[in-house]
Structure 1
Amino acid sequence: MAMKVEAEASISELPLSQTDINWDRLDKTRFHFIGAILFTAQSAFLHPIAVVKTRMQVAEATFAHMSGRSVFRNILRKDGIPGVFRGFGTSAVGSLPGRVLALTSLEVSKEMMLKSTEGSNMPEATRIAVANGVAGMLSNIVSCVYYVPLDVVCQRLMAQGLPGMNTYNGPYDVVRKVVRAEGFRGLYRGFGVTILTHSPASALWWGAYGSAQHVIWRSLGYGNDAEKRPSHLEMVAVQATAGTIAGACSSVITTPVDTIKTRLQVMDNYGAGRPSVIKTTKKLLREDGWRGFYRGFGPRFLNMSLWGTSMIVTYELIKRLSVKHV
């Protein structure tokens, strides 16, 4: 979740970096208002895939070996359309303050990094890349404090109905039962692994995005020719393609850790003691062997590829719509 708000403009070495819209040029109220609407719409589009992915990751081995399409049909047959949108209301409403926090920390820290490196001998492309990377990492750390409890609640709402899973009467019931069983720290299950994995995952995403965009622009013949400017349609198409490639690459590498994190946040039947990363990993290995780490890979691959495309295009649109009118 936290990673899904870590967005920024091109870090390519091409002259396109000049089109970046920085924090001081934005109408902050409009930026957050438009962002809330468009990112909520994006989340609604991708939420059913997230539900399928979560169920495949936490289900018992037999159910987990079903294809993503079969799991989706199974949910529709048992619960109808509401079943594939379980947890969406909590996620959509709960994410609003989180997005303000994450986007603000992202833009402010990026602006500070750009100013602190201004006048240095660092190449412009490298300076922008460093600013984006540091901003994404800081934003991830700040937003995880808010998003991990929300993620725990949403994941449990998505997984209810599966054999062995608890049932809840809404998000407040999840919070009440988790706190009663484990105390407040139960809402922060997976916090450490989220911090340790999302930061490098964010770096991986942006590295793949920047590299893919650089290769695509060069293949289109733009190179470093500042006089040859791409059309708006070309910019959107290249950003979308690079975002898709970045999401796909990231999903391949980060799915095993995401599977462990999701199970750690959702599952309770570990016997005596509090769930841990080691217990979760051992349980998954017993159930399904090493291939269990790639449970839900198909839906997650699709989710991150579509997310990469829609996120970067949506974010660039939000920034263009939020530029101050002088």
Structure 2
Amino acid sequence: MEDKRNIQIIEWEHLDKKKFYVFGVAMTMMIRVSVYPFTLIRTRLQVQKGKSLYHGTFDAFIKILRADGVTGLYRGFLVNTFTLISGQCYVTTYELTRKFVADYSQSNTVKSLVAGGSASLVAQSITVPIDVVSQHLMMQRKGERMGRFQVRGSPEGRGVVAFGQTKDIIRQILRADGLRGFYRGYVASLLTYIPNSAVWWPFYHFYAEQISYLCPTECPHIVFQAVSGPLAAATASVLTNPMDVIRTRVQVEGKSSIILTFRQLMAEEGPWGLMKGLSARIISATPSSIVIVVGYESLKKLSLRPELVDSRHCYQRFTDCYKRLYQLQPEMTQRIYDKFITQLQTSVREEISEIKAEGNLEAVLNALDKIVEDRKDQEEPAWRPSGNPEADLRSALVPYFRQQRDALQRHVRKQEAENRRLAEAVVAGRQQVQELQRRGQARQQAWQALHREQKELVAVLGEPE
């Protein structure tokens, strides 16, 4: 089994973007189909006053199923599928932001936190108008109105939302609030989902680290990843659910003030009103979290560029050789590996150019094919720089540490020169101060002498003859 702490992150530049988006849309659609009923239930629970209609997640599920059938659990789903666009914008922003932040910090927690918050900001700017329409459709129940707007029933009278009802909702929102109506609750959405996305990642890394210590060495990554994701989602849901309740009420009931909505909710239902729909939210977030930590990484592996598919286990083999260093300094190990691969690729390109210039390319390729053929039944690599991992490690680290030493020495020399200049300036300043003090004392003594002479002169002139 692989070392449980050896997880190589596939970054944006490693992906075949066409495959990534196609597979991503298909996977996201499957997840939406599975969790949408709980999203609808959560919305209804958060909007209803007290327990006027539903007494909990399970009660709401049974009542909706009995009243409207399975289709009742998917009201507004067609409109909601347009959020797939925002989902792709989310992952694109997330990956590009991670790449940008990597220039300033190598901490995976910092990169994930900043990227998660930025991705939510972009995604919510697209999602909020779709959510507003979708939530109003969710609130339709056999011709009854639970939100602000009422749409016409289906011709069959079975309460199934007809396609034209989406147009009815859009027209009513435009008439009532104008274009601003589609962004009702936008600030509340940002205050809900940006913290949720930013909080999820640190908790995920925390839980994954703790569970990895509890799991045996043979335990594969997918096990504690699949457990850590839902735990992080549950924690983030508990922390951000109060703002989610307020956001839903602002969007569905048409309120314009977050503070007034909060006060009204507290007056009507007390602090427990802020936890409404929490269980449904956790249930809907659980499969999404599992997909994020398991499916999303699998998606990225499927979307690897063709030239990287055969080499995706290279880093695994590298860390197996230097397991102790990886356990102590994983980020340094990654940098050493990247530097080694870069230099190796450069050397290979230079040698290929030289072989082409000499005209011996075919002979060299035949020799390489023979090496591969001779070693195809052996698991050990056909070639290693020295055959001694410790020697390889020293050869990789010593030049690196020498570069660091030289850089530090240059910095020290520069700082010492700056300190000398400052010391010389201080000494010169002190000398100037002493000179000014000396001149001041001399002038004071001269003034005192002149004053004595004047007093003596006045005394002489004032004596009677």
Query: Relative to structure 1, is the Cα distance of residues 309 and 203 closer, same or farther in structure 2, using a 3 angstrom cutoff?
Result: same
Does the CA-based 8 Å contact 1:59-1:163 persist in structure 2?
Answer: no
In the alignment, the residues of structure 1 paired with residue 41 and residue 246 of structure 2 have an alpha-carbon distance, to the nearest angstrom, of 16
Q: How far apart are 1:316 and its partner, in Å? A: 1.3
What pairs up with 1:188-267 in 2 under 5 angstroms?
188-221=183-216, 234-267=220-253
**Amino acid corresponding to residue 242 of structure 2 in structure 1:** P
In the alignment, the residues of structure 2 paired with residue 29 and residue 128 of structure 1 have an alpha-carbon distance, to the nearest angstrom, of 26
1:200-251 deviations in Å (ceiling 9; x for gaps): 22221111100000111122255xxxxxxx67xx222211100011011111
Aligned match of 1:283: 264
Aligned match of 2:91: 103
Does the CA-based 8 Å contact 1:50-1:303 persist in structure 2?
Answer: yes
In the alignment, the residues of structure 1 paired with residue 54 and residue 278 of structure 2 have an alpha-carbon distance, to the nearest angstrom, of 11
Runs of 4+ in 1 over 6 A off after TM superposition: none
Q: How far apart are 1:287 and its partner, in Å? A: 2.6
What pairs up with 1:10-25 in 2 under 5 angstroms?
15-17=5-7, 19-25=8-14
In structure 2, stretches of 5+ residues that fail to align are: 152-163, 308-465
In the alignment, the residues of structure 2 paired with residue 160 and residue 48 of structure 1 have an alpha-carbon distance, to the nearest angstrom, of 14
TM-score by length of 2: 0.59
**Amino acid corresponding to residue 281 of structure 1 in structure 2:** F
**Amino acid corresponding to residue 178 of structure 2 in structure 1:** G
Work out which of the residue numbers 280, 290, 307 in structure 2 matches 1:309.
Answer: 290
152-161 vs 298-307, greater mean Cα deviation: 298-307
In structure 1, stretches of 5+ residues that fail to align are: 1-13, 223-229, 269-273
Q: Does 1:154 align with 2:134?
A: yes
In the alignment, the residues of structure 1 paired with residue 295 and residue 33 of structure 2 have an alpha-carbon distance, to the nearest angstrom, of 14
Aligned match of 2:125: 145
Aligned match of 1:167: 150
151-160 vs 206-215, greater mean Cα deviation: 151-160
Q: Secondary structure at the match of 2:306?
A: coil
In the alignment, the residues of structure 2 paired with residue 211 and residue 105 of structure 1 have an alpha-carbon distance, to the nearest angstrom, of 24
171-180 vs 204-213, greater mean Cα deviation: 171-180
RMSD: 1.9
Q: How far apart are 1:96 and its partner, in Å? A: 2.8
Q: How far apart are 1:51 and its partner, in Å? A: 0.8
Between 1 and 2, higher relative CO (CA 8 Å, sep ≥ 6) is seen in: 1
Does the CA-based 8 Å contact 2:114-2:198 persist in structure 1?
Answer: no
In the alignment, the residues of structure 2 paired with residue 236 and residue 64 of structure 1 have an alpha-carbon distance, to the nearest angstrom, of 41
TM-score by length of 1: 0.83
1:139-179 deviations in Å (ceiling 9; x for gaps): 11111110111111111111122544223343332222112
Work out which of the residue numbers 31, 35, 48 in structure 2 matches 1:59.
Answer: 48
Q: Does 1:26 align with 2:26?
A: no
Residues paired across the two proteins, number: 289
In the alignment, the residues of structure 2 paired with residue 281 and residue 137 of structure 1 have an alpha-carbon distance, to the nearest angstrom, of 24
Q: How far apart are 1:65 and its partner, in Å? A: 5.5
Q: Secondary structure at the match of 1:236?
A: helix
1:9-32 deviations in Å (ceiling 9; x for gaps): xxxxx7434x21111110001101
In the alignment, the residues of structure 1 paired with residue 145 and residue 133 of structure 2 have an alpha-carbon distance, to the nearest angstrom, of 18
Query: Relative to structure 1, is the Cα distance of residues 101 and 306 closer, same or farther in structure 2, using a 3 angstrom cutoff?
Result: closer
Choose 1 or 2 for highest CA Rg.
2
